[in-house]
Amino acid sequence: MIELKGVVKSFGEKRAVDDLDLTVEDGEIFGFIGPNGAGKTTTIKMIVGILEADSGEIKVGGIRLLEDPLGVKRMISYVPDNPFIYEKITGYQYLNFLGDVYGLDKESRNMSIARYAQAFEIEENLKDYISGYSHGMQQKIALIGALLHEPEVLILDEPMVGLDPKSAFTLKELMKEGCQKGRTVFFSTHIMEVAEKLCHRIAIINHGKIVAVGTLEEIKSKFKEDGSLEEIFLELTE
Amino acid sequence: MRNLWNLIKKDLLLEFSFILNPAASLKDPKTRKRSLLYLLTLAIFGGYLIYFINYLLGLVDIFKAQGLGELFLLLGLVTYTSMIIFLGVSQVLSKLYFSDDISMLLPLPVSAADILGSKLISITVNSLLFALITVVPISIKYGGDWFFYLSAILGAVAATLLTISLIAMIEIVLMRFFNRLPNLKSLLQIVSMFMVIIFVLGFQWLMKLGQEMNITPESLPQFIEELSGKIYLLLPQVKLWMIALTESALWERLGALLLLLASALIIWQLVSRLGSKLFIKGLADNRVIAVRKHMFQRKTPGVRPVFLDIALKEIAEILKTPIYFFNIASIGVLIPILLMFPILINEGGDNFLSDINGLYGALEFSLGNNIGVGLLIGLLGSIFFGVTSQSAVSSITREGKRLWLVQTLPVKVKDQVNGRLVASYVFQTVGILPSALILWLLLSPPLEMVVAFFLGVGITAWMTSNLGLLIDILRPKLNWDDPEEAIKQNMNIFLFVMGSFGYLGLIIFSLVKLFENKLIEYSSLLGIGLVILVLHALLGVIGYILSRRLFKKRLNKFN
């Protein structure tokens, strides 16, 4: 479970995230949508510990991020919108590095690598330098790295960008499979259709504040019964 | 501890990928060419390296024969430690604050202390490569018992780790507190530069000390003692290292080595543990300041020519990025200080000044000679400044992964090329001005010599910038993770520097030989100067035309 209470983050004069409250339950696929500069990536970066909140509290799996950042980081996996991956090592070496960091034993590590590499059709390229990978392949290797230790909470920033339709489908299936096992998936997207079809609940953020949160039906009933998510989004973020 | 080792292993894999993973390196077309070029360069450079090491080893014999072997060993260790400081200042800054790697590591379950600790170790391992060409050959030649060799190896590791950790501590504190105010980050650049200056000047001061003492066999022990005392005050780690290497009692040597190792480990741990919070805060502030600066700089500029916009972007980028500033703009500050220092520290005799005046006074002054001498000094002197302070040779490389912007912006090739050249001229001319001013004040040359000098400078700056840009257009290094990699591991810059110094050496050697054999006289200097001037101008024109023609063609091939 992810809990944010009164979280604030400012950059100079600008409040990027403004008194944000949010709860994401276990086993939930949660979509986080908002226009550019609304505060999505800043919120995500605070949850994963890249940025420190100015005030407020962040808990993951009941653990306070400020008190036990490593405990939180062990539970989560994060893939940024434009993942930086070491280019002068091979795909295997990169995945092994992550396996080492998360303390995976050899057997489960090899099984995970084989499984996800096959799912994303990248087995043939694992022995090559990452510098030779296309953008989509780099996105795939970053996703495999994130899934490797079967995280309790998977946090993805624009995960579909750069993926071919088949890989996007695979990722969606893996997200569903994860939440069936009680894991939480929190992701940001600009693709309304993905949010509508995949997410159990959705939050819309604008100017650092949550302007709508709930299931698709709850949001529709509150704002526009016969409207699509896209229409509601456009109205709320005008 | 497990994660610390994982991070170190990852850093070493990345740093020495070609050695540790040759199969993958040769398979990837992007790295294959580079790997082969590295091998070729190593083969060429290896020759120079062997020559340098032989020269060093020859010096050991000479010093030993005069009973100064220990002094030479000390100077070897000091030279190595100074190199570590010189390179460590920019390496630490670059690896800790300007690398994407840290952003990738922060969400992983590894502590900031482990991240910092592993970075210090990997910088230490990198720095130890210099021990291979200094400490290792000198120690082998100097010779000693088994403990001597053990102390040489462990001492190098400990002294390097200790030095790098101390540099990191200073930089972490500075980045944390000075970063709070916009623009004060540049203070760090100035501090870095002054550290280098202090060490270079320190050597000159030691040389002066030696001159003043008028060393005789009787005063030699006192001289060595005084010299060692001054060095040990600045670099206590070298003192412990020297005791471990040269004292007669084994227990004393063992004690010094253990103390050096313990100090290095303790300081490394202290910096990693206590500095990690400051480091993360400084890192976060670094991002916030960048946003703030951006917010304050929302002035609407007037309409400027596009090439000027590109030139200003280049200049701003170099001034704001420590590693670029340090490599491109600092030489203009360092050289004048190095020129002035011998004059300031010499009392009465003024050897340096009288040497220069003597050389200058030996000239046969006439209008033609004055122009010839001015031209030659400008043409040849600015080659030195041209290779060290021009920005064109790394202009495309510095675009790195942002190159798509250059590829897609509706900017004419002419503006792209001219903008980058203008920025390069600015750094070259601004770089040479302080040195030129000092020489002018010292020598009061006639006006025609000064005018000819600046003509030479201008034409050579034109040539070196154009050729530098052409080389970078042909083979830019776009795939880098931090600015240091873009500059320090750049084959273009290496080849350009080697080529330029080779050319400079060839011209000076030819002139000296021609004079020695009386094939030319002073009156020929004007003619020679004009020939070189025309040659530089022509090379510049060729470089410019090729740069403009190839820029568009090559641009779409970069990926």
The nearest alpha carbon in chain B to A69 belongs to B109
Instruction: Report the range of poorest mean pLDDT among A35-49, A123-137, B314-328.
Output: B314-328
Tokens representing B370 are 């004055």
The answer on B213 and B109 residing in a single domain is yes
pLDDT score of B559: 61
* Residues B447-450: contacts with CB under 8 Å, at least 24 apart: B448/B367, B448/B370, B448/B371, B448/B374, B449/B370, B449/B371, B449/B373, B449/B374, B450/B374
- Which pLDDT band, with edges at 50, 70 and 90, does A35 fall under? very high
Is it the case that residue B185 has pLDDT exceeding 90? no
Nearest to B484 by CA among B87, B115, B32, B30: B87
Residues from B in contact with A at Cβ < 8 Å: 2-3, 6, 9-10, 13-14, 17, 21, 23-25, 27-31, 100-101, 103-104, 106-111, 284, 287-288, 291-292, 295, 479, 481
**Residue B362 located in a structural domain:** yes
Measured between alpha carbons, how far is A183 from A14 in angstroms, rounded to an integer? 34
Average pLDDT over residues B323-335: 68
**Residue B8 located in a structural domain:** no
Chain A contact probe: residue of B6, B288, B559 with most A CBs at under 10 A = B6
Question: Any chain B CB within 8 A of the CB of A135?
Answer: no
Q: What is the pLDDT of residues B454-482, one digit of tens each?
A: 899 899 988 999 999 999 998 888 877 77
| Multiple choice CATH, A2-236, 3.40.190.10, 3.40.50.620, 3.20.20.70, 3.40.50.300 | 3.40.50.300
Nearest to A131 among B23, B30, B110 (CB): B30
Element at B523 (helix H, strand E): none
Last residue of a domain, one of B285, B315, B335: B285
Do A93 and B21 make contact, defined as CB atoms within 8 angstroms? yes
Is it the case that residue B184 has pLDDT exceeding 60? no
Measured between alpha carbons, how far is B443 from B32 in angstroms, rounded to an integer? 53
The answer on B541 and B507 residing in a single domain is yes
CA dihedral B352, B358, B364, B366 (to 10 degrees): 50
pLDDT score of A202: 93
Q: What is the pLDDT of residues B424-443, one digit of tens each?
A: 988 888 877 877 787 777 77
**Residue B219 located in a structural domain:** yes
Is it the case that residue A152 has pLDDT exceeding 70? yes
Q: Which residue has the tokens 């379950």?
A: B109
Cα torsion B13, B15, B20, B21: sign: positive
The answer on B454 and B338 residing in a single domain is yes
Nearest to B245 by CA among B132, B122, B144: B144
Is it the case that residue B533 has pLDDT exceeding 70? yes
* Full domain range(s) for residue B476: 306-555
pTM of the prediction?
0.70
The nearest alpha carbon in chain A to B292 belongs to A12
More confident residue, B14 or B36: B14
Is it the case that residue A237 has pLDDT exceeding 80? yes
Nearest to B27 among A11, A98, A128 (CB): A128
Q: What is the pLDDT of residues A171-206, one digit of tens each?
A: 999 999 988 988 999 999 988 888 888 999 999 999
- Write the DSSP symbol of residue B391: S
Contact indicator for B114, B108 with CB cutoff of 8 Å? no
Average pLDDT over residues A118-127: 90
Do A76 and B107 make contact, defined as CB atoms within 8 angstroms? yes
More confident residue, B554 or A26: A26
Average pLDDT over residues B403-426: 85
Contact indicator for B479, B369 with CB cutoff of 8 Å? no
Backbone phi, psi, residue B302, to 5°: -70, 170
**Residue B108 located in a structural domain:** yes
Residues with Cβ within 8 Å of B309's Cβ and at least 6 positions away in sequence, in order, are B419
Tokens representing B36 are 């082969």
Is it the case that residue B535 has pLDDT exceeding 80? yes
Tokens representing B191 are 């501090």
Is it the case that residue B259 has pLDDT exceeding 90? yes
- Which pLDDT band, with edges at 50, 70 and 90, does B379 fall under? confident
The alpha carbon of residue B94 and the mean position of all alpha carbons in its chain are separated, in whole angstroms, by: 14
Average pLDDT over residues B496-502: 83
Averaged confidence pLDDT in chain B? 79
Helix ranges restricted to H, B178-235 = 186-213, 220-234
Proportion of chain A in helix, strand, coil states, percent, rounded to 5 = 40, 25, 30
Q: What is the pLDDT of residues B34-92, one digit of tens each?
A: 667 667 767 766 776 777 777 777 777 777 777 777 888 888 888 888 888 878 887 88
Q: Is A68 left (phi over 0), alpha (psi -120 to 50) or beta?
A: beta
pLDDT score of B169: 92
Do B109 and A73 make contact, defined as CB atoms within 8 angstroms? yes
Nearest to B109 among A84, A89, A101 (CB): A101
Rounded to 10°, the helix A91-101/A135-147 angle is 30
More confident residue, A61 or B218: A61
Last residue of a domain, one of B239, B254, B285: B285
Q: What is the pLDDT of residues B522-532, one digit of tens each?
A: 778 888 889 99
Do B479 and A131 make contact, defined as CB atoms within 8 angstroms? yes
Average pLDDT over residues A123-147: 89
Q: Which residues of B touch A85 (CB under 8 A)?
A: 104
Q: What is the pLDDT of residues B390-409, one digit of tens each?
A: 788 888 888 887 787 777 77
**Residue B238 located in a structural domain:** yes
Tokens representing B23 are 């199969």
Is it the case that residue B298 has pLDDT exceeding 50? no
Do A128 and B30 make contact, defined as CB atoms within 8 angstroms? no
The answer on B337 and B258 residing in a single domain is no
Of A35-44, B208-217, B320-329, the range with the highest mean pLDDT is: A35-44
pLDDT score of B142: 82
Q: Which residues of A touch B291 (CB under 8 A)?
A: 11-12, 14
The answer on B263 and B155 residing in a single domain is yes
The answer on B134 and B167 residing in a single domain is yes
Average pLDDT over residues B133-141: 83
Please state the domain count of chain B.
2
Q: From the CA of A227, how many Å to the nearest CA of chain B?
A: 37
The answer on B480 and B359 residing in a single domain is yes
The answer on B334 and B269 residing in a single domain is no
Last residue of a domain, one of B255, B285, B315: B285
The answer on B317 and B212 residing in a single domain is no
Average pLDDT over residues B500-518: 84
Is it the case that residue B166 has pLDDT exceeding 90? yes
pLDDT score of B422: 92
pLDDT score of B546: 93
**Residue B233 located in a structural domain:** yes
Q: From the CA of B122, how many Å to the nearest CA of chain A?
A: 16
The answer on B315 and B279 residing in a single domain is no
- Which pLDDT band, with edges at 50, 70 and 90, does A103 fall under? confident
Is it the case that residue A223 has pLDDT exceeding 80? yes
The answer on B330 and B214 residing in a single domain is no
Chain A contact probe: residue of B106, B280, B283 with most A CBs at under 10 A = B106
Q: What is the pLDDT of residues A42-96, one digit of tens each?
A: 999 999 888 889 999 999 999 999 888 889 998 999 998 877 788 778 899 899 9
Single-letter residue type at B459? I
Task: Examine the predicted complex and report whether its ipTM is higher than 0.85.
Answer: no
Single-letter residue type at B191? V
Q: Is A207 left (phi over 0), alpha (psi -120 to 50) or beta?
A: left
The answer on B311 and B281 residing in a single domain is no
- Which pLDDT band, with edges at 50, 70 and 90, does B350 fall under? low
